[in-house]
């Protein structure tokens, strides 16, 4: 069978039409995605407020507390797990990893301002040169990384006031600072009412049945406990960010007059392992009257919100009727599980 010149011509013409149709479809989809982002931004710009993008959860939570949530934030899902409160509105856009945000998305969103800290300075090369960038440290010493000096309330206040000036909400910021201070002290009074004055405590994150992170002198948790009238006990030398990674058997070094406060998240898998660990079962914290509390998550690399959230979470927990069986309660089915999603997520962060 012979293919005529006419049929070849028709075949070629049809192929070209098919190719053009495909390209037009791709362009249409791209334009549609761009339109959706622009439409979202236009909806968010109706209030004419300054729009901020930040890779930093501490800045994001502070902006939210001040009534102006960020336009975009790094790893929004991680924020939901580790920070939790204040809750971010659905309108806040996930701009990618905190250490590697999406430059195309940020360019499309066209923020008025980007706020980061020295830890995220490597991201600055991908930002639009015309977008101002400000650094907020909340009192952390990123240059000297000194682990021997406690954080100061005054420096945390200064960073918060700077954010208030940047977003043109100085009065609201001042009110937030003073209200937070009062709430922290009030929460401290509640804890002392239930546990006693100047109560000693170890505060830790628990990621496995082998180790935990104990908070030390240069941590936000130390500043919070000081303001609450409590006495934080550290079980090791802190890192530059205020935590000491120690083996779990160090719980036997905790004095008898000292409480153990464990902050979520703890995976159900780790809870199950802990309850069935001989090391744990032979410690005093396995006893029904143990001064042991598991409190809601607190992202400790932050600002005033960290102090406020920790104090409120602790006060809420100690004021509840005691039921030790619920402290490390978990689903019995976890015994069959071979995965540990939250522990895995912790290492990714």
Q: Between β-strands 52-54 and 72-73, what pairing exists: parallel, antiparallel or unpaired?
A: parallel
Per-position DSSP letters for 9-76, written without gaps between them: HHHHHHHHHHHHHHHHHHHHHHHHHHHHHHHHHHHHGGG-PPPEEES-HHHHHHHHHTT---SEES-H
pLDDT over 50 (residue 316):
yes
pLDDT classification of 329: cutoffs 50, 70, 90: low
Residues 217 and 211: their CA atoms lie apart, in Å, by 19
Question: In whole numbers, what is the pLDDT of the chain averaged over residues?
Answer: 84
pLDDT in tens, 231-264: 999 988 888 888 999 999 999 999 999 999 999 9
The confidence score (pLDDT) of residue 342 equals 41
For the chain, the structural domain boundaries read 50-136, 174-348
Q: Provide the CA 155 distance to its chain's centre, in angstroms.
A: 20
The confidence score (pLDDT) of residue 225 equals 97
Superfamily for domain range 50-136: Nitrogenase molybdenum iron protein domain (3.40.50.1980)
CB 166 within 8 A of CB 116: no
The confidence score (pLDDT) of residue 38 equals 55
Task: For the domain covering 174-348, report its CATH number.
Answer: 3.40.50.1980
Residues 131 and 137: their CA atoms lie apart, in Å, by 20
pLDDT in tens, 103-127: 999 999 999 999 999 999 999 999 9
Instruction: Record the pTM.
Output: 0.78
The confidence score (pLDDT) of residue 198 equals 87
pLDDT in tens, 164-216: 999 999 999 999 999 999 999 999 999 999 999 889 999 999 988 889 999 99
**Does 174-348 match 50-136 at the fold level?**
yes
Residue 322 burial (C-beta neighbours within 10 Å; 0-12, 13-18, 19+): middle
The confidence score (pLDDT) of residue 335 equals 44
């Amino acid at each position: 069978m012979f293919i005529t010149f006419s049929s070849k011509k028709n075949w070629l013409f049809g192929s070209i039409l098919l190719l053009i149709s495909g390209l037009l479809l791709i362009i249409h989809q791209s334009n549609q995605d761009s339109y959706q982002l622009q439409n979202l931004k236009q909806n968010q710009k109706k209030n004419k407020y300054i729009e901020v993008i930040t890779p930093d959860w501490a800045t994001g939570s502070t902006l939210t507390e001040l009534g102006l949530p960020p336009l975009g934030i790094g790893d929004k899902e991680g924020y939901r797990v580790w920070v939790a409160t204040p809750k971010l509105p659905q309108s806040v856009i996930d701009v990618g990893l905190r250490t590697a945000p999406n430059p195309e998305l940020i360019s499309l969103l066209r923020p008025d301002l980007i706020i980061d800290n020295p830890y995220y300075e490597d991201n600055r090369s991908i930002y639009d040169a015309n977008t101002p960038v400000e650094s907020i440290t909340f009192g952390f010493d990123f240059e000297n990384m000194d682990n021997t000096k406690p954080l100061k309330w005054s420096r945390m206040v200064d960073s918060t006031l700077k954010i208030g000036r940047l977003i043109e909400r100085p009065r609201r910021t001042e009110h937030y600072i003073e209200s937070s201070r009062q709430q922290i002290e009030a929460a401290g009074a509640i804890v002392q009412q239930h546990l006693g004055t100047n109560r000693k405590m170890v505060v830790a994150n628990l990621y496995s049945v082998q180790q935990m992170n104990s908070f030390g002198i240069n941590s936000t948790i130390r500043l919070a406990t000081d303001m609450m009238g409590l006495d934080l006990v550290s079980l090791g030398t802190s890192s530059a960010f205020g935590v000491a990674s120690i083996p779990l058997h160090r719980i036997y070094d905790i004095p008898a007059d000292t409480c153990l406060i464990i902050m979520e998240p703890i995976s159900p898998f780790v809870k199950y392992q802990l309850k069935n660990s001989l090391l744990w079962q032979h410690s005093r914290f396995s006893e029904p009257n143990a001064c042991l509390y598991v409190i809601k998550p607190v992202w400790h690399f932050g600002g005033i919100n960290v102090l406020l959230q920790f104090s409120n979470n602790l006060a809420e927990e100690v004021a509840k009727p005691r039921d030790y069986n619920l402290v490390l309660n978990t689903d019995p089915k976890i015994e069959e599980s071979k995965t540990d999603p939250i522990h895995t997520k912790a290492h990714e962060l």
